[in-house]
Amino acid sequence: MEDPQTDLQIYWLDQDQTILVADFGAELTVDKVLEGMDAIAEALKASDRLVHFIGDLSHTYVDPQVSSKVLGNATTLVQHPFWSHPNMGFTMVMLGQTFLERTTNIFSKLFQKLYTVDTVDEAIALIEERTGQRVRII
């Protein structure tokens, strides 16, 4: 059985399956990030529409030793196919730690559709504002 505090959980937020959420749990690892990116890429491949992504890191701890591993794998993370998939819409990240905020700011300079938000509601509002479409939450 999955422990929601530690395991990666990926789920659709809306009825139309246009918003995918990944909750990275209590502790972040490079493997968990890559697992999440792989799962998102699979969802994008299976979709026939634009998909927006919310990465929930709001309650995620990054150990200082893991921080260097994440940065050391930055090239692998940046080159992951999910970033350039034609069905990839906006990417929003809910943050809870200064290191994550700094890292996300670096990535947002590389990917112009990457935003940081504080809540899911803020992410939904951003999607609705940018797309002009109403989100129907499950």
Q: Indicate whether 17 belongs to any domain.
A: no
Domain span at residue 109? 24-131
The whole-chain average pLDDT of the chain stands at 83
Q: Rounded CA gap, 88 and 81, in Å?
A: 10
Q: Indicate whether 89 belongs to any domain.
A: yes
pLDDT in the model for residue 17: 95
Q: Indicate whether 113 belongs to any domain.
A: yes
Q: Considering its fold, how many domains does the chain have in total?
A: 1
pLDDT in the model for residue 41: 94
Q: Indicate whether 52 belongs to any domain.
A: yes
Q: Indicate whether 12 belongs to any domain.
A: no
CATH number at residue 103: 3.30.750
In this predicted structure, the answer to whether residue 9 has a pLDDT above a threshold of 60 is: yes
Q: Indicate whether 15 belongs to any domain.
A: no
Mean pLDDT of 41-55: 94
**Which tens digits make up the pLDDT trace of 85-124?**
999 999 888 876 655 666 666 666 656 677 778 888 989 9
**Which tens digits make up the pLDDT trace of 82-91?**
889 999 999 8
Q: Indicate whether 136 belongs to any domain.
A: no
pLDDT in the model for residue 109: 62
pTM (global) more than 0.85: no
Q: Indicate whether 33 belongs to any domain.
A: yes
